[in-house]
Structure 1
Amino acid sequence: MTQKINGKLIQGHQVASGKGANSPYAQGTISTQIPLFQELGLDLSPYFRGTLNVDISPYTYHMKTPQFTFRKVNWTISHPPEDFSFSQCLIIYNDDSYDGWVYYPHPETKIRHFHNPSIVEVIAIPIPKIKYGDLLQVSINPIEIDILDFTA
């Protein structure tokens, strides 16, 4: 069972990929974190070393029972360990589907680079020709993630 949510690709802080001009992580946070997540049981090695920032407004989401939650991941000396959760998803773009994972650094353990709660971060396999402003869908597992509608 899946639920599809419409979204638009927007530019994030570009810290996950390391492409941001002010990123303190030259390789990007994802490249640094992937080996640690792999040791904990989640292999993200085939995926792009960055995140897609998908704006699903006016909706927000809540991770309720993600497939993976890793506590106190000590991935950098720059700040205290963080908690991360992951839920498998699909990105649907131009009628093609691409495997991915909703990447959720828990805000209560994160000290910088916060996102609007309507932004879903996704680690996905490389998607040809995708660019900021493109419309897409994220197909999520509603058992693991709640989509919240504050317009109703």
Structure 2
Amino acid sequence: MAGQSTVERVKALITPIIEAQQLELVDVEFHREGKSNVLRVFIDKPDGVTIDDCQRVSQECDIVLDVENVIQSQYVFEVSSPGLDRPLKKLHDFVRFQNRLVKIKTYQAIDGRKNFLGRLQGVRELEGKDAIEVLVLLEDTNEEVVIPYESISSARLEVEF
């Protein structure tokens, strides 16, 4: 595990624990908040996570992280749901949340813009190329925009009422 970031090492250690409980690891964050280091793990499942899920994952992961001594300094460890505005981190997220309202930011401008708000239409592979595109129906213009998957810097669900 030499050369890996703290977040990558944590992911490698806790993913099997989380998956064994039929849960999904959505994201791992490790950063300074005020005077404390915070390790925050986000988990999910199709019908949403419960406090019991978070508590169970916290207890099991805490033991492994202590034994493996991944983080040498003191830190606060939190396990949480990703929330209603969960980030879309993996390709399967873009498939799973098809027809949902999303906010996507890109590294480079596409048609003169880097921020997109619209209904996720799905994903498609480009024939003969090793590339994937995300299709979004824009809220403001009702036009479909095609966003190269590798151009997405961040994406998250938008809360709908």
Measured against the shorter chain, the TM-score band is under 0.3
Bigger RCO of structures 1 and 2 (CA < 8 A, at least 6 apart): 1
